[in-house]
Amino acid sequence: MKTRTLIGVAALALCAGAQAQKSTADGIAEYRKMLEDGNPAELFEAKGEALWSQKRGPKNASLERCDLGLGPGVVKGAFVTLPRWFADTQKVQDLESRLVSCMATLQGFDAAEIVKTPFGRGEMANVTALATWIAAESRGMRFNLPQSHAQERITYEVGKRAFFYRGGTHDFSCASCHGDEGKRIRLQELPNLTRNPGDGIGFAAWPAYRVSNGQMWSMQLRLNDCFRQQRFPYPGFGSEVTIALATYMGVNAKGAESIAPAIKR
Amino acid sequence: MADPMRIRAQAAGDKTTVRVLMSHEMETGQRKDSAGKVIPAWFIQEVTATHNGKTVLTADWGPSISKNPFLQFVVKGAKAGDKIAITWVDNKGDKRTDEATVS
């Protein structure tokens, strides 16, 4: 009898816990909804838009001839097809590494110098602003990454392996947190990135403005911080592993609607 | 030179909702940098809103306002085509004015 009562109490406690969790998640959703109206990402969008057509760099040129995969100067719709293969650089590139290539070839900036710059500083802040604007130009469109080039398929496979690769002091992989439904870190729900997690979730929500630290986060910075949370060494900006992971997530997100730039807690 | 504001003003009946997003660091003066030195306070101190040149709102702000602040308010009697201008002045004397048309 006594055991029974205890089980009863335990079951009640579980129910209460589940209810509290639900309302917390709802609360966060409500908070995001309230913030959406004045998303400061718009400020970065405006900055990026101005940077795109501004003549800058040693060559005093704009980025308006930059080919983001849909032809020189085509911005609308480019974001939802990246990362993809680029014949001129002979590489699969994501939006940010592609922007750095354009800044180097068109404007004459030193690509190695930009890649070394910490996030949020100097030219790196400009890359983030440009990425924010370019992502915003594809808002509401659905992800459809090309997989026709052999290198794109290889990059996807490399990304898949990197995603499931366990290591570091905590024996973590991306899949530890993002390989199942219904997981969370503290109060943040974690999307399952091994399939399409839905419209505007996971890959389809970045770049995003983070209210807690007032920073604009690009996909490269998002991945960089995922590596930190796994206690892995920091990946290089635009390195093969970050692009492989982005390709894996992007191909999996096929059909998901992009809401970027989003707003995060 | 400060980055531009984003101002939206939407009329509904005799009320116009104005939403303003300002680009500002809003340093409190309480934080320290990586070298342990205090980062000097730098924040918006005065905000003024005008409707067709007539002041409709003034606010004194302090360091407790967030980075990249968002301000929303309602102006009675503003119609589509009217001009809403917002000005801010920060504690370093830097200022910025932007204007939007009510739609």
Reported as a single tens digit per residue, the pLDDT across B79-96 is: 889 999 999 999 999 999
Query: Rounded to a whole number, what is the distance in Å from the CA of A143 to chain B's nearest CA?
Result: 28
Strands (E), A37-187: 84-86, 91-93, 183-185
Residue A8: its pLDDT value, please? 46
Cis peptide before A58 (omega within 30 of 0): no
pLDDT average, residue stretch A138-166: 95
CA distance A106 to A34: 40
A246-263 confidence digits (pLDDT tens): 999 999 999 999 998 988
CA distance A94 to A65: 17
Residue A43: its pLDDT value, please? 87
| Three-state SS at A225 | helix
Domain positions in chain A are 1-37, 41-264
Q: A257 CB contacts (<8 Å, ≥6 apart)?
A: A140, A141, A142, A199, A200, A204
pLDDT higher than 70, residue A3: no
- CATH number of the domain at B52, please: 2.60.40.10
Residue A12: its pLDDT value, please? 44
Residue B1 included in any domain:
no
Q: Which residue of B has its CA nearest to A47?
A: B3
Please report, rounded to a whole number, the percentage of residues in chain A having pLDDT higher than 90. Answer: 68
Residue B72: its pLDDT value, please? 93
Least confident of A1-5, A24-28, A168-172, A223-227: A1-5
CB contact under 8 A, B67 and A214: yes
Query: In DSSP terms, which residues pair with B74 in a beta bridge?
Result: B17
Residue A101: its pLDDT value, please? 95
pLDDT average, residue stretch A28-35: 76
Q: Which fold has domain A41-264?
A: Cytochrome Bc1 Complex; Chain D, domain 2 (1.10.760)
pLDDT higher than 80, residue A25: no
How many domains in chain B? 1
Residue B1: its pLDDT value, please? 54
CB contact under 8 A, A47 and B3: yes
Residue A34: its pLDDT value, please? 76
pLDDT higher than 90, residue A182: no
Residue B4: DSSP 8-state = P
B6-51 confidence digits (pLDDT tens): 899 989 888 999 999 998 999 999 999 889 999 999 999 999 999 9
Residue A14: phi, psi to the nearest 5?
-60, -45
pLDDT higher than 80, residue A17: no
Determine the residue among A42, A211, A213 to mutate to test chain B binding: the one whose Cβ has the most chain B Cβ atoms within 10 Å. Answer: A42
| Partner-chain residue, chosen from A46, A211, A214, that has the shortest CB–CB distance to B6 | A46
pLDDT average, residue stretch A113-125: 91
A92-102 confidence digits (pLDDT tens): 999 999 999 99
CB contact under 8 A, A214 and B68: yes
Sign of torsion, CA A42 A219 B67 A264? Answer: positive
Residue B31 included in any domain:
yes
Query: Rounded to a whole number, what is the distance in Å from the CA of B97 to chain A's nearest CA?
Result: 15
Please report, rounded to a whole number, the percentage of residues in chain B having pLDDT higher than 90. Answer: 77
Question: Which residues of A are identified as catalytic?
Answer: 226
Residue B28 included in any domain:
yes
Predicted TM-score (pTM) of this structure: 0.82
Q: Quick one: tokens of B102?
A: 């009510």
pLDDT average, residue stretch A124-134: 94
Determine the residue among A35, A36, A39, A43 to mutate to test chain B binding: the one whose Cβ has the most chain B Cβ atoms within 10 Å. Answer: A43
A40 in reach of chain B (CB within 8 A): yes
Residue A71: phi, psi to the nearest 5?
110, 155
A71 in reach of chain B (CB within 8 A): no
| Three-state SS at B43 | coil
Residue B78 included in any domain:
yes
CB contact under 8 A, B19 and A37: yes
pLDDT higher than 70, residue A20: no
Residue B27 included in any domain:
yes
ipTM, 2 dp? 0.74
- In terms of residue numbers, what domain contains B36? 6-101
Residue A224: its pLDDT value, please? 94
Question: What H or E segment, with its residue span, contains residue A265?
Answer: none
Q: Which residue of A has its CA nearest to B67?
A: A214
Question: What H or E segment, with its residue span, contains residue A69?
Answer: none
pLDDT higher than 70, residue A177: yes
Residue A185: its pLDDT value, please? 83
Residue A202: DSSP 8-state = G
CB contact under 8 A, B3 and A46: yes
CA distance A70 to A81: 9
How many CB atoms lie under 10 A from the CB of residue A145? 23
Maximum CA extent, chain B = 55
pLDDT average, residue stretch A142-148: 94
Residue B28: its pLDDT value, please? 93
pLDDT higher than 80, residue A35: no
CB A131 within 8 A of CB A95: yes
Higher-confidence position of B2 and A242: A242
Q: What is the mean pLDDT of chain A?
A: 87
CB A111 within 8 A of CB A101: yes
CA distance B39 to A203: 35
CA distance A127 to A188: 27
Q: Which value, in Å, is the radius of gyration of the alpha carbons in chain A?
A: 20
CA distance B20 to A188: 29
Residue B50: its pLDDT value, please? 94
Residue A22: its pLDDT value, please? 60
pLDDT average, residue stretch B61-67: 92
| Three-state SS at A133 | helix
Contacts of B3 in chain A (CB under 8 A): 43, 46-47
